[in-house]
């Protein structure tokens, strides 16, 4: 049995960045060589690429977990860690990428179209790169960042110009088999077609694709038969063709009733109302079928539909039909806005935003969000005091401390950097935020002379509250000694 998979949920993990290296150059008779720790390598991305040889998502159904290679750590003697290899996942043309909540992320149409589903983590800087005139020999390096990890949904929407819809056994697959070189399964029992078939038709200078979908029956919208699920494959088509069976012996059925039923089901599915449609009256090789076709034709035409009498078995009327379809497809292609043929990413991810936000969350607790602060936290080796000092320094320079103070944060308040599930929580210690660098230069700390205005104001306010309005800012300040 062949399996067709047109919707899968996969879990992608991009490669972690390699850690930076903290190392000091060693050479005989040169005791104080400079820092020479190299940077870690970038982790590999997980990339989806449209590949013409791939037609289903089956592969991902069997192996939904995919991981790219990690970057290698940096080494001493300026050695940079190797970059992780990208993991390229081939997907069929017409794959739609959704996030776990069903929001569309990308629409992959056209061979070679790429989408980065998981971004590799950056490598951490080595201590060589972290050295500066003020910090000549850093005793720490930055950690590599974890690779992006995501659950995404891949959904296949066949990319066909023309879609054939109709009751089971109306002859949809038979039509594809005679209009194109495709060889779909054809049989006289309902629901022969379990997955869409695709054929390429050449009509004069126009080349277009035709797809059928599994047969529809009354109540398909409530899940009867195979339901409407497969209609997503015709969402992209520009022309709809009703294949009506003129030779069915089933009670209660005739081409006009069938048409109404199918239209009703299409309406329940929604979104297809604007497609031009035409009607094919099939099985006219059978005399009764031919008679019936002639009877219903005027009614159909009265509804404004173009009608084609054909036989997939005797191949009558096919040339006319294929040229009419070619004409409609050409019209649709010309009407389509240019950029639509190269649509790729619907909502690209924001990268590198420079800002951050501070939000008060209840009494004495603040949350800092932002690409940079969150990244810096991930890069920090919290076991290394110097690295923590460097982090404080960076946050301070970005203005995080000032913003916290502005929003009323006080010493000892909780400050979370990051989202709910991956936040790192600190006690707010504004006076200490100068970090390793400032503390490293004893006696030069400008805070000894004069506190910054915001800090000063806050201290005054606090003191006033405590002492019942007396101005004791000076007292308060004298108590402050960071080296105590
Ligand atoms: N006499 C005659 N039989 C036909 C014609 N077209 C299809 N058939 C027969 O009708 C039956 C169903 O044909 P399919 O092409 O499998 O029908 P389908 O619409 O794809 O059916 P499902 O896949 O079940 O939805 C087969 O036995 C075909 O041989 C036709 O033009 N004339
Ligand atoms: Mg079929």
Segment 212-249, tens digit of pLDDT? 888 888 887 777 777 677 787 788 788 999 999 999 88
Beta strands in 326-398 (DSSP E): 357-360, 365-369
Residue ranges covered by each domain of the chain: 1-156, 162-342, 357-479
Ligand approaching nearest to the C-alpha of 314: 1
Please check the confidence at residue 461 and state whether its pLDDT lies above 70.
Answer: no
Is 42 a pocket residue for ligand 1 (Cβ < 6 Å)?
no
- pLDDT at residue number 451: 47
Using most ligand atoms within 8 A of CB, pick from 182, 186, 199, 282 the residue to mutate for ligand 1: 186
Phi/psi at 445 (nearest 5 deg)? -65, 115
CATH architecture assigned to 357-479: 2-Layer Sandwich (3.30)
Distance from the CA of 229 to the center of ligand 1, in angstroms? 22
Phi/psi at 87 (nearest 5 deg)? -105, 115
Burial of 29 (C-beta count, 10 Å sphere; 0-12/13-18/19+): exposed
- pLDDT at residue number 186: 85
Is 173 a pocket residue for ligand 1 (Cβ < 6 Å)?
yes
- pLDDT at residue number 466: 56
Length of the chain: 484
Q: Residue 44 — pLDDT band, cuts 50, 70, 90? A: very high
- pLDDT at residue number 307: 94
Instruction: Give the number of the atom of ligand 1 that is nearest the alpha carbon of residue 186.
Output: 16
Asked if residue 171 belongs to a known ligand binding site, the reply is yes
Residue nearest to atom 1 of ligand 1 (CA): 283
For residue 387, give both structure tokens.
């690295």
First and final C-alpha spacing in the chain: 77
Residue nearest to atom 14 of ligand 1 (CA): 171
Is 285 a pocket residue for ligand 1 (Cβ < 6 Å)?
yes
417, 374 contact by CB (below 8 A):
yes
- Domain 1-156 and domain 162-342, same fold? Reply is no
- pLDDT at residue number 244: 95
Using most ligand atoms within 8 A of CB, pick from 4, 168, 312, 317 the residue to mutate for ligand 1: 312
Asked if residue 168 belongs to a known ligand binding site, the reply is yes
Q: Residue 16 — pLDDT band, cuts 50, 70, 90? A: very high
Tell whether domain 162-342 is in CATH 3.40.50.2300: no
- How many CB atoms within 10 Å of residue 179? 24
| CATH entry, 1-156, from 2.70.70.10, 2.70.210.12, 3.20.190.10, 3.30.1490.100 | 2.70.210.12
């Amino acid at each position: 049995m062949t399996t067709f998979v047109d919707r899968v949920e996969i879990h992608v993990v991009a490669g972690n960045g390699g850690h930076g290296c903290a190392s000091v150059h060693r050479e005989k008779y040169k005791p104080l060589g400079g820092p020479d720790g190299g940077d870690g390598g970038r982790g590999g991305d997980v990339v989806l690429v449209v590949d013409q040889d791939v037609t289903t998502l089956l592969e991902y159904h069997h192996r939904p977990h995919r991981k790219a290679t990690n970057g290698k750590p940096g080494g001493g003697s300026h050695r940079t860690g190797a970059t992780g290899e990208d993991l390229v996942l081939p997907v069929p043309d017409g794959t739609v990428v959704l996030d776990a909540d069903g929001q569309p992320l990308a629409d992959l149409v056209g061979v070679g179209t790429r989408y980065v589903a998981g971004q590799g983590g950056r490598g951490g800087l080595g201590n060589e790169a972290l050295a500066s005139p003020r910090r000549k020999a850093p005793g720490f390096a930055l950690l590599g960042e974890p690779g992006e990890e995501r659950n995404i949904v891949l959904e296949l929407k066949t990319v066909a110009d023309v879609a054939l819809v109709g009751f089971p056994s109306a002859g949809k697959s038979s039509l594809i088999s005679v209009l194109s070189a495709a060889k779909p399964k054809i049989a006289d029992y309902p629901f022969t077609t379990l997955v869409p078939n695709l054929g390429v038709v050449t009509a004069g200078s126009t080349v277009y694709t035709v797809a059928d979908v599994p047969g529809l029956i009354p109540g398909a919208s409530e899940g009867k038969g195979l339901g409407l699920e497969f209609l997503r494959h015709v969402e992209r088509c520009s022309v709809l063709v009703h294949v009506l069976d003129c030779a069915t012996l089933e009670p209660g059925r005739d081409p006009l009733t069938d048409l109404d039923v199918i239209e009703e089901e299409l309406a329940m599915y929604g979104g297809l109302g604007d497609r031009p449609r035409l009607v094919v009256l099939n099985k006219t090789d059978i005399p009764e079928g031919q008679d019936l076709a002639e009877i219903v034709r005027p009614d159909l035409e009265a509804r404004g539909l173009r009608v084609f009498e054909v036989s997939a078995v005797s191949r009558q009327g096919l040339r006319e039909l294929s040229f009419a379809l070619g004409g409609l497809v050409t019209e649709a292609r010309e009407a389509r806005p240019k950029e639509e043929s190269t649509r790729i990413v619907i909502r690209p991810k924001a990268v590198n935003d420079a800002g951050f936000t501070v939000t008060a969350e209840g009494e004495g607790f603040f949350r800092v969000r932002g690409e940079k602060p969150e990244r810096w936290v991930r890069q920090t080796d919290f076991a290394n005091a110097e690295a923590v000092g460097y982090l404080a320094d960076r946050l301070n320079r970005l203005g995080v401390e000032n913003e916290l103070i502005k929003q009323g944060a006080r010493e000892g308040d909780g400050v979370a950097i990051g989202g709910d599930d991956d936040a790192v929580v600190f006690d707010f210690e504004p006076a200490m935020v100068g970090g390793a660098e400032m503390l490293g230069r004893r006696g030069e700390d400008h805070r000894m002379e004069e506190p910054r205005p915001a800090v000063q104001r806050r201290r005054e306010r606090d003191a006033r509250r405590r002492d019942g309005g007396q101005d004791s800012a000076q007292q308060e300040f004298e108590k402050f000694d960071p080296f105590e």
